[in-house]
């Protein structure tokens, strides 16, 4: 019996000491401390192009800034898309946009308004300008987490 107990203990120790591995279905690194964040984006106007789903760390200098992202997934556009991320429990913000022309750039009109669909975690109002970081902030708790974002189009 002692042999079985020792072998079981060794298996548990090896499992706990195993290096972090990327989960094939989620962006990021799955560790014992990582939480899963499922993001669903809905109200996408067409299946043209792709949808970019970007996670930002809770840092106002990095929120929506070039090079400020923590993780990003680009997926084929559909009326509704879903993806997931492995993240340590903390506060984050998510921004999405519908890159309908597939140029991997968020297009704007001549007056600077969004020409493509967009959205943020918590679906904050965005009639004039970008939302403050506090309006898009949410907490990832240990375990499973899910958010839903409605795509908005100005034209």
In a domain, 15, yes or no: no
Residue 24's pLDDT is what?
A: 54
What are the tokens at 36? 């899963």
In a domain, 1, yes or no: no
The CATH number given to whatever domain includes residue 81 is: 2.60.40
Q: Record the pTM.
A: 0.82
Percent of all residues in the chain with a pLDDT value above 90, rounded to a whole number: 70
> Would strands 50-57 and 90-99 be described as parallel, antiparallel, or unpaired?
antiparallel
**Residue-wise pLDDT tens digits, 60-113:** 999 999 999 999 999 999 999 999 999 999 999 999 999 999 898 898 888 888
Residue 84 main-chain phi, psi, to 5 deg:
-145, 160
**Residue-wise pLDDT tens digits, 80-93:** 999 999 999 999 99
In a domain, 41, yes or no: yes
Selection from 130, 119, 110, 2 nearest residue 63 by Cα: 130
In a domain, 10, yes or no: no
| Local confidence band at 19 (pLDDT 50, 70, 90 cut-offs) | very low
In a domain, 53, yes or no: yes
52: pLDDT strictly greater than 80: yes
- Unique residue bearing structure tokens 């997934």: 73
| Counted domains in the chain | 1
In a domain, 7, yes or no: no
In a domain, 138, yes or no: yes
In a domain, 12, yes or no: no
Task: Report the pLDDT averaged over residues 29-49.
Answer: 97
Show the domain range for 141: 21-150
């Amino acid at each position: 019996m002692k042999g079985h107990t020792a072998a079981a203990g060794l298996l548990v120790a090896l499992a706990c000491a195993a290096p972090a591995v990327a989960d094939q279905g989620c962006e990021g690194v799955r560790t014992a401390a990582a939480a899963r964040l499922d993001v669903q984006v809905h109200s996408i106007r067409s299946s043209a192009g792709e949808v970019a789903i970007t996670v930002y760390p809770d840092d106002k200098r990095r929120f929506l800034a070039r090079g400020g992202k923590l993780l990003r997934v680009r997926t084929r556009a559909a009326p509704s898309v879903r993806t997931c991320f492995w993240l340590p429990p903390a506060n984050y913000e998510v921004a999405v946009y519908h890159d309908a022309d597939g140029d991997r750039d968020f297009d704007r009109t001549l007056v600077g308004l969004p020409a493509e669909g967009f959205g943020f975690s918590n679906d904050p109002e965005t009639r004039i300008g970008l939302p403050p970081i506090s309006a898009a902030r949410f907490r990832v708790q240990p375990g499973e987490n899910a958010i839903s974002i409605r795509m908005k189009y100005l034209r």
